[in-house]
Chains A and B, each alone.
Chain A
Amino acid sequence: MSQQYSGSRSEREEDVPAPEPAPAGGSAQAGTTDLDSLLDEIDSVLETNAEEFVKGFVQKGGQ
């Protein structure tokens, strides 16, 4: 099995059994690569102006 991975998601998904259903209390420790690839990709789903975005989220109070 290749130990040098490119961070390719599909490759990881073939290697690793599906994460669910993970037993409660079991360790569904994500591979570092999965987290690395998400760290690479997360910016693409976040709106660019973080400060304006966060300030724009204002509600009335609830209960």
Chain B
Amino acid sequence: MDRRIYGVETEFGVHYSHPGARPLTPEEVARYLFRPVVEWGRSSNVFVSNGSRLYLDVGSHPEYATAECSTLDELVAVDKAGEVMMQQLIDQATERMAADGFTGTIYLYKNNADSAGNSYGSHENYLLNRRTEFRRLSEALIPFLITRQLYAGAGKVVAPRTGDTDPGTLDRDRPDGAHFAFSQRADHVMEGISSATTRSRPIINTRDEPHADAAEYRRLHVIVGDSNMSETTQLVRFGATDLMLRMIEAGTPLGDHQLENPILAIRQVSHDLTGTAELSLRSGQRRSALQLQRHYLEQATAFVERHGAHHDRLDAVLDLWERALDAVERQDPAGIDTEIDWAIKQRFLTRYADRHGLDWDSARLAQLDLSYHDITPGRGLFTLLQSRGAAARFLDDDAVRQAVDTPPATTRAALRGRFIQAARESGQPYAVDWTHLKLSDRPLLTVTTKDPFQTSSERLDELLRSIPSPDHAPAEGHRDGDASSIHPV
């Protein structure tokens, strides 16, 4: 597919800290966080005006699913806009909690693990052509997904193994002592491919909800990724994965690199910053993460030479992909330590550890690891690094701010955003999901949007014309400031 629909779903970790006072559970804090959402949409599962979805997920994780995007710029901007929305919820919850006597601090982390070994995800969605055989696609893609942590990993301070735990076969190559690893998520992945998400945590989830014409499309649901803070890391993560899918869809032979034990391999890669740990393939051969990624990069570069660039960020994707592999190979992250999450984090934490004489088992470094993912501007480590130029970006604050209220213009999210705005302005009760736009009192006029690339709709125009102008709108269901109540004034 030349143009592809992308989306990413992010679960945030909730942390309330108030030393010396009664702790609040994440559930209690999540309820405070989502109170404005419930007031806005009468549900803790809503679509917001940029076309994205905001909800409370399994385990009370606030979750944000981006609207359908068809460019990498849109995808990263809409994803970062989710952090802005979450911050607005933090601000409002902090006020309400203080009024109830809870004067501690709320932290939301865009990361993938807590200190007790629970994990939550960053799920990527890629729209695929139905003609591509899914089994063949998964086989070709999984070795890529297992090794892309060399540039897509968010970095993790790993605690030392405790004395009473059995290393187990999956962790046999993991160092016993505290150390720095590429990935947040790798240690929590339990299966290669499966229909489950919470129970066994596969790399690819087979749930096939295309939210589109199922005869034409299917959805690839990748749940192995780390949540990224860095815009440039996201660019190469999504951009390289899209290139892999293009090659597979085009039938480009990529070789058979199926891994003997994908779940062992993903841990081997994460805990080996040299990228040279040898992974066993089913064919009996052995390959390192660096070798596999070099191979995919070469194939992708040749593919782009043959077929041309299909978007204007392609050079940047290939360039950063290559420089990241160079950096790992040379064991010198200096060339990527403003652009790749794990390297940005490692650079700062190493400097901090040197200055204070700390080892990786220091609680302060574990705290800084969390702080890197703290989304609050001016407090979270990544936000501080970015504001001082120690983390590069390819968007700017305006682009992110705009993406908070404005849906992507190139997909049906534009229709959804327009509909939500019109319905709310007029105070009409409405319901939306990924493929339907409905005014509750005109069910027969419901607009179905099966084509995710659709950006105009006569049926929607007709439906919107049927709405009385706001001046004459019935008062029922409409409150002052309704439409902006999840944005603090």
Contact = CB atoms under 8 A, between A and B. Distances in A.
Interface of A: 9, 16, 19-31, 34-35, 37-39, 42, 45-47, 49-63
Identify which of A19, A38, A51, A63 gathers the most chain B CB atoms within 10 Å of its CB.
A63
- Interface size class on chain B is 35 or more
B379 interface: yes
B115 A57 contact: yes
B120 A54 contact: no
B300 interface: no
Nearest to B198: A63
28 contacts: A19-B389, A22-B394, A23-B316, A24-B231, A25-B316, A26-B392, A28-B339, A28-B390, A28-B391, A28-B393, A35-B347, A38-B348, A38-B388, A42-B352, A45-B371, A46-B368, A47-B367, A50-B362, A55-B115, A56-B23, A57-B13, A57-B107, A58-B116, A59-B118, A61-B58, A62-B11, A62-B57, A62-B120
Contacts of B232: 24-25
Contact of B223 (A47, A52, A55, A63): A63
Leading 4 A-B pairs by shortest Cβ distance = A62-B120, A19-B389, A60-B59, A30-B390
A12 B231 CA distance: 24
Contacts of B57: 62-63
Contacts of B198: 61-63
B338 A30 contact: yes
A46 B369 CA distance: 11
A27 B201 CA distance: 36
Given A35-B351, A56-B15, A24 B61 contact: no
B35 interface: no
Interface in B362-397: 362-364, 366-368, 370-371, 378-379, 381, 384-397
Identify which of B313, B323, B386, B392 gathers the most chain A CB atoms within 10 Å of its CB.
B392
B388 A30 contact: yes
Contacts of B316: 23-25
